[in-house]
Amino acid sequence: MTERLLLRGFVPDVEAVHAYAGDPEVCRYTDWGPNTPAQSQAFIDDVCAAPAAGELEPVTWAVTVAGNVVGACSVTVTSVEHRRGVMGCVVARAHWGRGYATEAAAGVLRFARADLGLVRVEATCRPGNVASQRVLEKIGMQREGLLRSHLLVRGRREDSLLFAAVD
């Protein structure tokens, strides 16, 4: 929970998820989407499924405002031994510019540190995604470098900027 947002588990929120996950502008800088309705359903099925024994599963929340899903955020422990993880956040275009992404990301970072005990939390974004860069900087993450040819996005190799928060 943050000042204006409730971060909660997903329930059958397929229509709300598809409203942002199917939007080409929202997915412009992601390595997924724009989703079909079936892909949005598969996402819900995946985040609602019980983790397999021994797997490091991400903690994924629906970002809600007044009970309405406006996005998603997550944190994944990438190394228990080294207390390291990675986080991400997405917000529907209709809710851009209101500070929701910053508020949600700050909540995820607090959870990663306080509840998961992570010392290093990383996030990446495409170099052209200035809004995401600002969000990560606002929550105290520092830009550490450029990951060349980091992801395959819709058939093209894409660079990523690496940000991290270290306790």
Please say whether the beta carbons of 148 and 159 come within 8 A. yes
**pLDDT given for residue 48 in this prediction:** 87
What CATH number does the domain containing 70 carry? 3.40.630.30
Q: Is residue 133 part of a domain?
A: no
Sign, Cα dihedral of 121, 86, 96, 145 = positive
CA 11 to chain centre: 17
- The secondary structure of residue 27, as a DSSP letter, is T
- Strand order from edge to edge, sheet including 68-79: 6-8, 59-65, 68-79, 84-91, 120-125, 156-166, 142-153
Q: Is residue 124 part of a domain?
A: no
Provide the domain count of the chain: 1
Q: Is residue 147 part of a domain?
A: no
Q: Which range of residues forms the domain containing residue 61?
A: 6-119
Q: Is residue 161 part of a domain?
A: no
Q: Is residue 132 part of a domain?
A: no
Partner residues linked to 121 by β-bridges: 85, 165
**pLDDT given for residue 167 in this prediction:** 87
Mean pLDDT by 10 residues, the chain (167 residues): 87 91 97 96 89 75 95 96 97 96 97 96 98 98 98 96 96
**pLDDT given for residue 11 in this prediction:** 84
Q: Is residue 151 part of a domain?
A: no
Q: Is residue 19 part of a domain?
A: yes
Residue-by-residue DSSP string for 58-88: PEEEEEEETTEEEEEEEEEEEETTTTEEEEE
**pLDDT given for residue 110 in this prediction:** 97
